[in-house]
Amino acid sequence: MAHAFSHIPRSALPELLRRAPKAELHIHIEGSLEPERIFALAHRNGLTLPYASVDALRAAYAFTDLQSFLDIYYAGASVLLTEQDFFDMAWDYFLRAAADHVVHAELFFDPQTHTERGVPIAHVIQGLHRACVQAQAQLGIDASLILCFLRHLSEDAAFEVLEQALPWRHLFIGVGLDSSERGHPPEKFARVFARCAEQGLRCVAHAGEEGPPAYITSALDVLKVQRIDHGVRCTDDPALVQRLAQERMPLTVCPLSNVKLCVFKTLAEHNLPQLLEAGLCVTVNSDDPAYFGGYLNDNLLQLVDALPQLGPQQAWQLLANSFEASFVAPEQKAAWRAELDALFDAAARDAAAGLQA
């Protein structure tokens, strides 16, 4: 088979991962707000934060579960008011993504977090969109937006924000489902997801992060999603793992997030190698990088460092999966795959030459 990279030395892996083209498919743009930016925006908007300093805020980032994180995440996002604020937040992310050789990013945003505070949805979408356009023009990053519904709120509230967003339908490619998972099963949003599918929107949902495997099944069967965000708890149900493998249903896994939110105790105990081994289309992503201690390359590098089962072959697979699972045209996927393969092929040739010398 053409793509055999297992003889690339492990020592070459960090540099290879850093330099490789990659797609990021699970990043909440509000989760990229660094404490410094939160304080700067609070100052610009004349708001007072309940934290004395950047360090005091960062010190509060000690989470015990998803909800303990969400409380701080929504508080952080409350400094965003103007179109420029949303632009600045996304631009900060794109600069970091470019440094990580991210060539494609699909950004989640949570409009209800902002519209509930009286921020017009136009400010949210137009600011983020302007940053996406500039990312393409100045950084060569292809970026698109996915509107997420907050699952702790009602389906009526989701319908309401969808109506507000439809005038900007051309500026986002899909919808997702995030926030507090337990007690808020995908079925709660069956009608609004059906409406989104009619609009030609792509559908994804967080499922099986803290919630049971049954939520993954209902995201697939009721919401008819095309990707599962997180999904790591599928291993509690072997038949579901088999189904996900058979359907090549992508899972957007977020290793550092999972450790920070106590889904796994350590990276060394993460089940990602097991998922890859089972033939699932697993991708690696940063989720909320400003809160979880790292951007995309940090996730990839720390993961392979912690898990000896993940060698060059698996690293290549994870990046190839990121393109396979992306919402872009087949020709674009093929072009990025060719770039990725060329880089790994060159490393494999270097390894072979080294062995002969």
Residues with a catalytic annotation lie at 209
* Contact between 287 and Zn ion per CB under 5 A: yes
* Contact between 206 and ligand HPA per CB under 6 A: yes
* Contact between 88 and Zn ion per CB under 5 A: no
* Contact between 24 and ligand HPA per CB under 6 A: no
* Contact between 92 and Zn ion per CB under 5 A: no
# chain residues binding Zn ion, by CB under 5 A: 1
Binding partner selected for residue 31 from ligand HPA, Zn ion, none, CB under the kind-specific 5 to 8 Å limit: ligand HPA
CA angle 312, 318, 324 (to 5 degrees): 135
Closest distance to ligand HPA from the beta carbon of 79 (Å): 16
Kindly report the three-state secondary structure assignment for every residue of the chain: CCCCCCCCCHHHHHHHHHHCCEEEEEEEHHHHCCHHHHHHHHHHCCCCCCCCCHHHHHHCCCCCCHHHHHHHHHHHHCCCCCHHHHHHHHHHHHHHHHHCCEEEEEEEECHHHHHCCCCCHHHHHHHHHHHHHHHHHHHCCEEEEEEEEECCCCHHHHHHHHHHHHHHHHHCCEEEEECCCCCCCHHHHHHHHHHHHHCCCEEEEEECCCCCHHHHHHHHHCCCCCEEEECHHHHHCHHHHHHHHHCCCCEEECHHHHHHCCCCCCHHHCCHHHHHHCCCCEEECCECHHHHCCCHHHHHHHHHHHCCCCCHHHHHHHHHHHHHCCCCCHHHHHHHHHHHHHHHHHHHHHHHHHHHC
Binding partner selected for residue 209 from ligand HPA, Zn ion, none, CB under the kind-specific 5 to 8 Å limit: ligand HPA
# chain residues binding ligand HPA, by CB under 6 A: 11
Closest distance to ligand HPA from the beta carbon of 290 (Å): 11
Binding partner selected for residue 179 from ligand HPA, Zn ion, none, CB under the kind-specific 5 to 8 Å limit: ligand HPA
Spatial distance between the Cα atoms of 135 and 308, rounded to a whole number of angstroms:
35
Residue nearest to Zn ion (CB): 287
Per CB under 6 A, the list member of 257, 283, 321, 322 interacting with ligand HPA is 257
Closest distance to ligand HPA from the beta carbon of 181 (Å): 6
Between residue 50 and residue 69, which ones bind ligand HPA under the rule CB under 6 A? 66
* Contact between 209 and ligand HPA per CB under 6 A: yes
* Contact between 287 and ligand HPA per CB under 6 A: yes
Among the candidate windows 242-250, 285-293, 334-342, 347-355, which touches Zn ion by CB under 5 A?
A: 285-293
Binding partner selected for residue 88 from ligand HPA, Zn ion, none, CB under the kind-specific 5 to 8 Å limit: none
Binding partner selected for residue 96 from Zn ion, ligand HPA, none, CB under the kind-specific 5 to 8 Å limit: none
Residues that bind ligand HPA (CB under 6 A): 28, 31, 66, 73, 178-179, 206, 209, 257, 287-288
Residues that bind Zn ion (CB under 5 A): 287
